[in-house]
Amino acid sequence: KFVNDKLDETYCTPVPSGHNFRVFDVPDEELEMRDILNCWYEEGFYPLQQLQKIDIEAKDEYLDIQKQLLDHHDNTIMLVLRSQVYQAALKRILSNWPARSPAKNHLEFLLDQALALQTYGRH
């Protein structure tokens, strides 16, 4: 078991590289967050990153569509980040990601937004 309490923002023991998390390793919310992040990355973030690097016909239209898809996934993440338990789960997950990862930077931005909304109220 890597987490003592759902609100812990760090793992209580180091997570081995490449570890496949199972029930009882971490809270259910973290497993759910990992599933959400997997969809976010595979369907939204990664395709957009790759699309920006290539030269194809009608690139702008494809970029617009992919940005809308990423926005949809971002909104899903923002929705679950209303919960402090999911915020803690995301912080734990990101603690094991590479420091200069564009994906990590994007998710940290979303987390900062969620924390600001929680602190200063929703508008």
pTM score, two decimals? 0.91
**Residues in contact with 83: Cβ distance below 8 Å, sequence separation at least 6, in sequence order:** 29
Give residue for tokens 């898809």: 69
The phi-psi region of residue 41 (left if phi > 0; otherwise alpha if psi is between -120 and 50; otherwise beta) is alpha
Looking at residue 120, its pLDDT comes to: 80
pLDDT in tens, 24-58: 999 999 999 999 999 999 999 999 999 999 999 99
Q: How many CB atoms lie within 10 A of CB 69?
A: 16
- pLDDT class of 118 with cuts at 50, 70, 90: confident
What is the residue extent of each domain of the chain?
A: 28-120
- pLDDT class of 122 with cuts at 50, 70, 90: low
Q: How big is the chain, counted in residues?
A: 123
